[in-house]
Structure 1
Amino acid sequence: AFIPPHTRGYRLRLDERSRRLWLNGKEVLPPLSAQQFRLLQTLEKQQGEVVSREELIQAVWGEEAFGVTEQAFDALVRRLRERLAEIDPHHHYILTVRGHGLRLDNPPAE
Structure 2
Amino acid sequence: MQIFILEDDEAIGIGLTYSLENEGYAVTLAKSVGQAYDIISNNDFALYILDLTLPDGSGYDVCKKIKKKGDLPVIFLTAFDDEVNVVMGFDMGADDYISKPFRVKELLLRIKSVLRRYNKETADGIIRLQNLIINTNEAKVYKGNHEIILTAMEYRLLLILLNNRGKVLSRNQLLENIWDIDGDFVEDSTLTVYIKRLRDKIEEDPTNPQYIKTVRGLGYIIEDDK
Give your verdict on TM over 0.5: yes
**Cα 1:25–1:42 shift into 2, 3 Å:** same
Match in the other structure for 1:18: 138
Q: Which amino acid aligns with 2:191?
A: F
Preserved CA contact (<8 Å) 2:175 2:188: no
Q: How many residues get paired? A: 100
**Unaligned runs of at least 5 residues, structure 1:** none
* Partner Cα separation in structure 2 for residue 93 and residue 80 of structure 1: 10
Among 140, 148, 151, the alignment partner of 1:33 is: 151
> How far did 1:17 drift?
2.0
* Partner Cα separation in structure 1 for residue 157 and residue 134 of structure 2: 12
Match in the other structure for 1:55: 173
* Partner Cα separation in structure 1 for residue 170 and residue 179 of structure 2: 14
Preserved CA contact (<8 Å) 1:93 1:106: no
CA RMSD of aligned residues (A): 2.7
**Cα 1:9–1:54 shift into 2, 3 Å:** closer
Runs of 4+ aligned residues of structure 1 deviating over 4 Å after TM superposition are none
**Unaligned runs of at least 5 residues, structure 2:** 1-117
Q: Which amino acid aligns with 1:27?
A: E
TM-score (norm 1): 0.72
Match in the other structure for 1:7: 127
* Partner Cα separation in structure 2 for residue 60 and residue 9 of structure 1: 22
Corresponding residue SS for 2:193: helix
Corresponding residue SS for 1:64: coil
Preserved CA contact (<8 Å) 1:51 1:100: yes
Larger radius of gyration: 2
TM-score (norm 2): 0.38
- Structure (1/2) with the larger strand percentage: 2
Structure with the bigger RCO (C-alpha within 8 Å, sep 6+) is 1
